[in-house]
């Protein structure tokens, strides 16, 4: 029973000490205590430093995004935001640590579809579900680039597909950061759409994948674009064939999209990063975080820092908009995983 319901009980014949006794009853006292606690949570949050959990080691793209945001977010909230890096199991170890902590807003998760939507679909040991998290605010999106070894006999997405069709005896090899990662699923989806067959080579991270691509041991991959890839393309150490977005990326206006070709007209994907909390975190706390992050994303210095990491800054969303976006993305990627027959391993 809520405090409001308790106060709506017939009180016409309860006066003085008798009324006080009713309000002091275990049911009403509990309702009053819960109401007071909820108000105190919203008013006092945050009362101590906040941990921002990054599901990959320091030095990577995810870590760089967190470092751009942590101090400005802390300034908005009036508390220190400490970046905590914890890699492993496609980001699921860090995600599970957040879910194991109290849902009080003192543990934030910086996640993407890879960790919260796809990892439980690919790994039987991962028990979390996308619904265990609430998306507070999308932060940014990254351009996905179709890259190939420098001497591959293809200079566009269509030419890559044509080459794959001609290589029935020796399929082209493609890399990803693991079975069930978005980059694995997208190439499997590409094969399904074009009737091609290619060989998947999973890596433990993007760095060794790009190293093998630059060394010619791997044919191609779809990966998030970054400055290092751009430099390698300019130096002729690999080919940048296309991007995977619906429109050309502002950072790469001269690079065509995959969909501009004839064979994959509706192939359009990016990868987003967002701040999340454990589902069930008090609404007042989630609202405070949503507003703080929305303000931070409008900060010119933050926007410049994210853009330097080759990220496109997200437009701030209300909690309702974020919930609809997250629900739609969850359904979309689960649908893709089902279509390619992805099974937990």
* Burial status of residue 287 (CB atoms within 10 A of its CB: 0-12, 13-18, 19 or more): middle
Q: Are strands 133-142 and 107-111 parallel, antiparallel or unpaired?
A: unpaired
> Which has the closest alpha carbon to 109: 57, 50, 46?
50
Q: Using DSSP, how many helices (H) and how many strands (E) does the chain show?
A: 14, 11
The per-residue pLDDT for range 72-94, each reduced to its tens digit, is 999 999 999 999 999 888 788 89
Q: What average pLDDT score do residues 212-237 get?
A: 93
- In sequence order, the β-bridge partners of residue 201 are 175
Q: Is 134 helix (H, G, I), strand (E, B) or coil?
A: strand
Q: Helix 26-44 crosses helix 16-23 at what angle (to 10 degrees)?
A: 60
Structure tokens, 340: 């390619």
- Are 95 and 275 in contact by the 8 Å Cβ rule? The answer is no
DSSP string covering 194-252, please?
HT---EEEE-SSHHHHHHHHHTTSS-EEEEE--HHHHHHHHTTSEEEEEE-SSS--TT-
- In sequence order, the β-bridge partners of residue 272 are 141
Q: Is 287 helix (H, G, I), strand (E, B) or coil?
A: helix
Q: Which residues lie closer than 8 Å to 262 by C-beta, 6 or more apart? A: 158
CA distance 257 to 264: 10
pLDDT at position 42, please? 57
Mean pLDDT of the chain: 88
The per-residue pLDDT for range 42-52, each reduced to its tens digit, is 568 999 999 99
Residue tagged 């760089």 (tokens): 64
Residue tagged 């929305």 (tokens): 294
> Which has the closest alpha carbon to 139: 228, 86, 67, 45?
67
Segment holding 109, helix H or strand E? strand 107-111
Domains of the chain with CATH codes: 3-44 (no CATH), 50-140+283-339 (3.40.190.150), 144-260 (3.40.190.10)
The three-point CA angle 300-303-304 to 5° equals 85
Residue 168 has φ and ψ, to the nearest 5°, of -70, -35
Residue 199 has φ and ψ, to the nearest 5°, of -105, 125
Entry pTM: 0.80
The per-residue pLDDT for range 263-305, each reduced to its tens digit, is 999 899 999 999 999 999 999 999 999 999 999 999 999 999 9
Quickly state the pLDDT bin for 41 (edges 50, 70, 90): low
């Amino acid at each position: 029973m809520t405090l409001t319901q308790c106060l709506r009980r017939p009180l016409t014949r309860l006066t003085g000490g008798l009324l006080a006794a009713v309000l002091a009853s275990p049911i009403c006292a509990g309702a009053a205590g819960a109401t007071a606690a909820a108000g105190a949570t919203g008013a006092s949050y945050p009362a101590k430093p906040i941990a921002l959990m990054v599901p990959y080691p320091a030095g990577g793209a995810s870590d760089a995004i967190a470092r751009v945001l942590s101090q400005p977010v802390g300034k908005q909230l009036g508390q220190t935001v400490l970046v905590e890096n914890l890699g492993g199991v496609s980001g699921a170890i860090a995600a599970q640590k957040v879910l194991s902590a109290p849902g009080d807003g003192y543990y934030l998760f910086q996640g993407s579809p890879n960790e919260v939507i796809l990892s439980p679909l690919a790994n039987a040991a991962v028990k979390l579900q996308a619904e265990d998290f609430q998306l507070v605010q999308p932060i940014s999106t990254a351009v996905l680039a179709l890259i190939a070894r420098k001497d591959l006999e293809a200079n566009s997405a269509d030419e890559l597909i044509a080459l794959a069709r001609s290589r029935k005896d020796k399929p082209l090899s493609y890399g990803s950061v693991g079975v069930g990662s978005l980059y694995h699923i997208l190439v499997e989806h590409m094969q399904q759409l074009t009737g091609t067959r290619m060989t998947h080579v999973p890596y433990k991270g993007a760095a060794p994948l790009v190293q093998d691509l630059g060394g010619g041991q791997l044919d191609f991959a779809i990966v998030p674009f970054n400055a290092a890839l751009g430099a390698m393309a300019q130096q002729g150490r690999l080919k940048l064939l296309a991007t995977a977005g619906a429109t050309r990326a502002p950072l790469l206006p001269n690079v065509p999209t995959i969909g501009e070709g004839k064979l994959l007209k509706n192939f359009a994907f990016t990868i987003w990063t967002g701040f999340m909390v454990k589902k069930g975190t008090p609404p007042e706390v989630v609202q405070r975080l949503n507003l703080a992050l929305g303000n931070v994303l409008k900060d010119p210095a933050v926007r410049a820092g994210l853009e330097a990491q080759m990220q496109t800054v997200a437009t701030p969303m209300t909690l309702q908009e974020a919930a609809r976006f997250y629900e739609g993305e969850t359904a979309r990627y689960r649908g893709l995983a089902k279509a390619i027959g992805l099974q937990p391993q």
